[in-house]
Amino acid sequence: MKKFAKRIFQILWQEERAQDLVEYALLVVLIGLGAIAAINYLAGAIWFAFVVAAARLTGYLGPV
């Protein structure tokens, strides 16, 4: 298995098209990480908005 992986990495390193593929894969990974960070931030903001709305509906925060 090590020889197979080593051969694949050699091919990817030598071929120009393979290098482009690796660059695109890294770009997709970075975009994915950015999307995950944005979703985590938005999830917290949306959760907070619902908590405030629920508190106002139940009268814990007083009138708007």
In terms of residue numbers, what domain contains 39?
2-58
Give the pLDDT confidence of 5-64 residue by residue, as tens digits: 888 777 767 766 677 888 899 999 999 999 999 999 999 999 999 998 888 888 876 665
Tell me whether residue 38 is in a domain: yes
12: in domain: yes
- What phi and psi values does residue 25 have, to the nearest 5 degrees? -65, -40
Domain presence at residue 11: yes
**Are residues 13 and 23 in contact, defined by beta-carbon separation less than 8 angstroms?**
no
pLDDT at res. 8: 76
- The structure tokens listed for 29 are 């990974």
30, 28, 11: which is closest to 19 by C-alpha? 11
Q: What is the pLDDT of residue 50?
A: 94
pLDDT at 9: 75
User: 41 in a domain, yes or no?
Assistant: yes
In a domain, 43, yes or no: yes
* Torsion angles phi and psi, residue 55, rounded to 5: -65, -40
In a domain, 39, yes or no: yes
Tell me the whole-structure pTM to 2 decimals. 0.53
Q: How many domains does the chain have?
A: 1
Q: Note the pLDDT tens digit of each residue in 43-55.
A: 999 999 999 888 8
